Structure 1
């Protein structure tokens, strides 16, 4: 009895700074057992952030001053748990152009396929994974989808990092092991356990091909209860743990950051305005014409170009795409913009240099001067194969003079557009074209 009392008192003393109502609320919001507050690796992660890296995280919050309110407002409006703000912090430290070695990009570190699935545009001109507002909305929808799939927020967070299939496998393995523990010595001979373990092995060997049987087993074992600590338990002698080390660290990181953000002393130290800012938006979205230059907008609004560029990281270039698009400008400039701004956008096209290309040849192809290509691209004398050039077009169409041997199909292939489109725009009644005739070629925007 004395030994038990000593351990209890020791634990209270050891975990004193983490045992509070705010942190319990974080666990409850993410469907995590309250006893997880006593999980030692979580305490160690929190101590690392609060006692050794406090100033580092304050700097990150200050750098994300105009991004954090957007995330906070969107999350509160969508009625998902507020601790999920920490997912963005864990993913990118509020850096819009953050990149991973796995080709994930942006504030929420979306992979291209997932980004497109949740409505983010990625093409030659834009990457909306770097748009703080659009990417946050997409991340919220993705997290909601994962929560609907798993039924628990902490599983959704881990699946955001590791993928749905990997978390399904982890849950199934943990539940099978728990079932085995209940069976005791009978486990090794139990036919069900052998069948379950075979399904797991088949998935581990063949991946997607064998995911359906694994998923069916996941649904079948729904009656077995496990918690987060079960999934994080280290299994001796196994190279493949329930979850990858990255994901085990990730969930602890998200929780430790959530504890940090709900710590009154930390907020006092950080000047709590950082987390409570955003009553008035710092910047707003406005629609502009194709090819609008950010340099021009910055000069017109009398603001710093670099700051404007930072607010528009969704643009891959210093101009908007050759189709109708938007930019973000400072909120305080909105009234002036609406009253006085007249877009001087031009159609800008990105051309990839091919073998045999010269500046003169490219200029003639698009009906512009060589100097214009040089000026827009700050070129010297030579071009490189696969080099990308910004081509400032005078209009949506290139005027092309038909040469001997030309056919509509050959011209269409040369410019990468449909010959039917060329026919329609030039109101041609047949496929016949004459040498010397000038026709309009629509740009592939």
Structure 2
């Protein structure tokens, strides 16, 4: 009896902790009935987050500090509830380079097909799923579409995780069961209409997208039957396929628990930096640059560490912009300096084709790819002796293998640099080099 009383008191203490107007506002914003605040799984997860993981979430928010204003700005410009910031948190923990085992990438974990559907460019040179601004705008558009499709934000969030079709199936199954329950078990078993409905669901489960059309028609037909999150989350004994996948059930609880935590006065005071309540002015500014612009060059003229410039531009697959007009991100405070100091300049190696050269040999020599050389020079796979190729530099150095007859001065002349730089970057004690030796040859930043 004493144990039961202690358990009851601990549940009541936790419920009192989670039951407040701010948390009820979160539920209302996401179209979830207020009674869901009593969900045991939600209460347990919120307790873990609020008692044990505060410092962890603070570190994550600090790591994503550059992107929080960008996310807030996109969300505030739209009709999407601010609570959906937690979607990005749940998807990637605010890491632009995050990658799942299913090959979803970026802050919002877009799969390639969905990314392209919402205007994100993915090619050899760029992957805009890693662009914090463009991917957030695409995510807002996608979530808005899902909300229009389902009419409820909590369904849109779960569809973002599981896909539209899987949530349609879940809603249809829950509504059939609810309809069946209202009729009584004996009557339900004999009802031909209910059996037809269940057959449509079974057909979809067996054939997938080829049978989705009938399932969707049934979804629309059952529109007048109300359903809520508690009913969708209900565990059905004896069934391996629940209404919602286990991952999706955890996902919606995670979003809600995070939203409760981030909204709490206690957490805001705990952060001290008021990270989630910071202004919406982004510290990053997109600037258009010509093809092949080196990030090393931008780093040098702005006096910003290369590592920092690279972090802002993880949507670029290489350390230079693609072979078409594009943009890069720079710190907002450096915009005036960029306009003053930046001069359209490509950092390339101009290479004259010699006997025995192939595209793969040249690509290997200059630490790049055959596809990149082809694209920048608009050529096929054949070369001719004496042909000049523009090689975009992938790093501040290129590798050079010393040949018979080479000297530091000869190599320096070939690459158009001072031979003393070769001595310095390779940490040579004198000018002696040997055949087969690999030298680092500085490029671009003279």
The TM-score, its normalising length taken from structure 1, stands at 0.80
Number of residue equivalences: 381
What is the distance in 2 between the residues matched to 1:437 and 1:280?
A: 54
Which residue of structure 2 aligns with residue 384 of structure 1? none
**SS, match of residue 222 in structure 1:** coil
Which residue of structure 1 aligns with residue 253 of structure 2? 252
Deviations 1:377-415 (A, max 9, x none): 5xxxxxxxxxx35866897456xxxxxxxxxxxxx6x46
Deviations 1:290-336 (A, max 9, x none): 01111111011111001110100100111110111100001111001
What is the distance in 2 between the residues matched to 1:71 and 1:218?
A: 33
Q: Cα RMSD between the aligned structures?
A: 3.0
**SS, match of residue 322 in structure 2:** coil
1:82-101 residue pairs with structure 2 within 5 A? 82-101=82-101
2:103 equivalent to 1:106: no
Which residue of structure 2 aligns with residue 192 of structure 1? 193
Which residue of structure 1 aligns with residue 306 of structure 2? 305
What is the distance in 2 between the residues matched to 1:161 and 1:437?
A: 55
2:215 equivalent to 1:214: yes
1:103-142 residue pairs with structure 2 within 5 A? 103-142=103-142
Which residue of structure 2 aligns with residue 230 of structure 1? 231
Residues 347 and 393, structure 1, Cα contact 8 Å, conserved in 2: no
**SS, match of residue 17 in structure 1:** helix
Residues 309 and 318, structure 1, Cα contact 8 Å, conserved in 2: yes
Residues 72 and 280, structure 2, Cα contact 8 Å, conserved in 1: no
Residues 347 and 395, structure 1, Cα contact 8 Å, conserved in 2: no
Structure 1 residue 256, shift from structure 2 partner: 0.4
Which residue of structure 2 aligns with residue 26 of structure 1? 26
Residues 292 and 347, structure 2, Cα contact 8 Å, conserved in 1: yes
Residues 373 and 391, structure 1, Cα contact 8 Å, conserved in 2: no
What is the distance in 2 between the residues matched to 1:363 and 1:177?
A: 62
Deviations 1:59-85 (A, max 9, x none): 101111111111012101112111001
Residues 346 and 394, structure 1, Cα contact 8 Å, conserved in 2: no
Alignment CA distance shift 1:391-1:240 (3 Å): closer
**SS, match of residue 216 in structure 1:** helix
Structure 1 residue 165, shift from structure 2 partner: 0.2
Structure 1 residue 275, shift from structure 2 partner: 1.2
Which residue of structure 2 aligns with residue 342 of structure 1? 343
What is the distance in 2 between the residues matched to 1:338 and 1:277?
A: 28
What is the distance in 2 between the residues matched to 1:9 and 1:250?
A: 28
What is the distance in 1 between the residues matched to 2:309 and 2:199?
A: 56
Which residue of structure 2 aligns with residue 265 of structure 1? 266
Which residue of structure 1 aligns with residue 358 of structure 2? 361
What is the distance in 2 between the residues matched to 1:18 and 1:339?
A: 54
Structure 1 residue 258, shift from structure 2 partner: 0.4
Residues 322 and 347, structure 1, Cα contact 8 Å, conserved in 2: no
1:353-432 residue pairs with structure 2 within 5 A? 360-362=357-359, 374-377=365-368, 388-389=369-370, 396=377, 414=381
Deviations 1:326-357 (A, max 9, x none): 000011110011122102125799xxxxxxxx
Which residue of structure 2 aligns with residue 432 of structure 1? none
Alignment CA distance shift 1:215-1:394 (3 Å): closer
**SS, match of residue 259 in structure 1:** helix
Structure 1 residue 277, shift from structure 2 partner: 2.2
Which residue of structure 2 aligns with residue 66 of structure 1? 66
**SS, match of residue 357 in structure 2:** helix
What is the distance in 1 between the residues matched to 2:274 and 2:375?
A: 48
Alignment CA distance shift 1:239-1:204 (3 Å): same
Residues 42 and 252, structure 1, Cα contact 8 Å, conserved in 2: yes
Structure 1 residue 278, shift from structure 2 partner: 3.6
Deviations 1:162-219 (A, max 9, x none): 0000000000000000011111121100111101000000000000111011000000
Structure 1 residue 264, shift from structure 2 partner: 0.5
Residues 376 and 390, structure 1, Cα contact 8 Å, conserved in 2: no
Structure 1 residue 442, shift from structure 2 partner: 12
Which residue of structure 1 aligns with residue 153 of structure 2? 153
What is the distance in 1 between the residues matched to 2:375 and 2:90?
A: 45
> More deviation in 150-159 or 52-61?
52-61
Residues 158 and 247, structure 1, Cα contact 8 Å, conserved in 2: yes
Which residue of structure 1 aligns with residue 41 of structure 2? 41
